[in-house]
Amino acid sequence: MSESPIQTEPSTGAPKVADASQHISLRVELKDTLVLAGPIVLNQVGHMSMGMVDTLVSGRISTTALGGLGLAANFFWTFTSVCIGCLLALDTYFSQAAGARDEAALSRYLGQAFWAACLVIVVSGAFIVVGSRLYLACSPADELRAAFATYVNTITWCLPSLFFHFVLQRYWQARKRVFPFTAIILSANVLNLVACVGLGLGHWGFPRLGVRGIAISTVICRYAMLFAAIGFTWHQLGPGALRLPRLDRWVQREIFRLGLPAAGHTALEIGAFTLVTFVVGAFGAAPLAAHHACLIMAAFTFMFPLGFGSAAAVRVGTFIGAGQPRHARVAGWICIGIAIAVMSCFAVGYLAFPQFLLRCFTSDPAVIHIGAKILVLVALFQIADGTQVSTTGALRGLGNTRAAMIANFIGHYPIGLLLGMVLCFFFNFGVVGLWVGLAAGLVAVALMLVRAWVSHTRNLEELKAVVG
């Protein structure tokens, strides 16, 4: 592989086992994948559930609050997700070092990951502040604008907790210690629900702070998650593991060499949905609320294949690090297959219960009417969405992050956004036309990434570890 500079032997001195001699049991691999992926999926769903709770509670305030918070949440997560993409290279390095049983490499990458996180915190914070100021300067002074400003100005304070928690979660995920983080995120969701209802809606004697109360609740919960993750790591590795080492420029360069293309693919994918969100905002509060309710549901189900994609990165990377490329290919296909099966079930649910699902967010008939049409399209692209994100994870386990960036650019922009804009403005399909474009883009991305995975795993002898 062109992206694989170094292949190393484990620091333990244990010889690598010839892959050709290994018997691959599909049943065992499926079981091992599910054991690893189950808690990872719960972690991903738990993170998304916090945003889901924010949306549900804001819908109880007003349609305007729902639309304004949705716009702000899309804006905030666009920048943070792109910067988190820079750290996705940790999946490759942590998992391949774990597969090679190289404790020195694991420790080195953990320490340097904190330096990388500090950099992306500064970058993401700067973009959020500047971007929000530009939007507020250009938008009319109305309730949507006020809700946007309130949420963004408050939620930005949780940036350090997001990135440092991500580093610790990815480290322990590569070491297959995911259950403690599942317990952390589930507990945080309970706390967030109670706090949002209390501070957002003013229950149980708390002041009714509206959108600001929802944002404050989320910030509190994010820091609670970070402190719990630090406590677990301290208990397992001792305080020395959390000390910030001297900056290693070579390691930083390697992290961002793989991380920047991953950030690029994240920016292209999320950027397409964010651009559509701002276009929808021009149509008024009801279309924007319907768009955000459908988008948050699509994002929620997306967390399931995203979890399997993370599991694929760990399983594939571990086998590559252990010198077993045949196992890596089988592990990748199993994760992709599971993601497709799960998303097929969600597609049926969206087609069968669109109005029921929308009523969970709002009672506004206009929002429900528009949202029901959008959910049909959400159902149609579930399989493509699951395929593309799980395949992206499998490719990341190989150390390939460029294929996803290229596929997302071609799929979402010349195909998806262009088609959506034409249907929206030239054929007067409105919001529904934009979502047709998004669906077409995801299908195109999925097809290109599956082709890339097949191509990169065809010649097994070329699959090498990237850690050193």
Helix (H) or strand (E) run with residue 433 in it: helix 430-456
Query: Is residue 58 included in any domain, yes or no?
Result: yes
268 contact partners, CB below 8 Å, separation of at least 6: 405, 408, 409, 412, 413
Query: Is residue 7 included in any domain, yes or no?
Result: no
- Residue 185 scores a pLDDT above 80: yes
Domain carrying residue 99: 24-462
For the ranges 122-126, 157-161, 269-273, 394-398, the lowest mean pLDDT is seen at 269-273
Q: How confident is the model at residue 79 (pLDDT cuts 50, 70, 90)?
A: confident
* Mean residue pLDDT across the chain: 86
The string of pLDDT tens digits covering residues 114-137 is 999 999 999 999 999 998 898 888
- Residue 174 scores a pLDDT above 90: no
Query: Is residue 248 included in any domain, yes or no?
Result: yes
Give the amino acid at 265: H
**Burial label, 52 (beta-carbon count in 10 A; 0-12, 13-18, 19+):** buried
Residue 229 has a pLDDT of: 94
What mean pLDDT comes out for the span 269-273?
Answer: 84
Query: Is residue 94 included in any domain, yes or no?
Result: yes
Residue 224 has a pLDDT of: 95
Q: How confident is the model at residue 95 (pLDDT cuts 50, 70, 90)?
A: confident
Integer Cα distance of 258 and 237 in angstroms: 27
Half-sphere CA count of 98, side-chain side, radius 13 A: 23
Helix (H) or strand (E) run with residue 273 in it: helix 249-281
Question: Among the ranges 152-161, 242-251, 358-367, which has the highest mean pLDDT value?
Answer: 152-161
Compute, in degrees rounded to 10, the torsion defined by CA atoms 213, 215, 221, 227: -120
The string of pLDDT tens digits covering residues 236-270 is 988 777 788 888 899 899 888 888 888 888 888 88
Q: How confident is the model at residue 21 (pLDDT cuts 50, 70, 90)?
A: very low
Residue 278 has a pLDDT of: 80
Q: Which two tokens stand for residue 132?
A: 């929000």
Residue 16 has a pLDDT of: 41
Query: Is residue 31 included in any domain, yes or no?
Result: yes
Query: Is residue 15 included in any domain, yes or no?
Result: no
Query: Is residue 10 included in any domain, yes or no?
Result: no
**Total number of domains constituting the chain:** 1
Query: Is residue 141 included in any domain, yes or no?
Result: yes
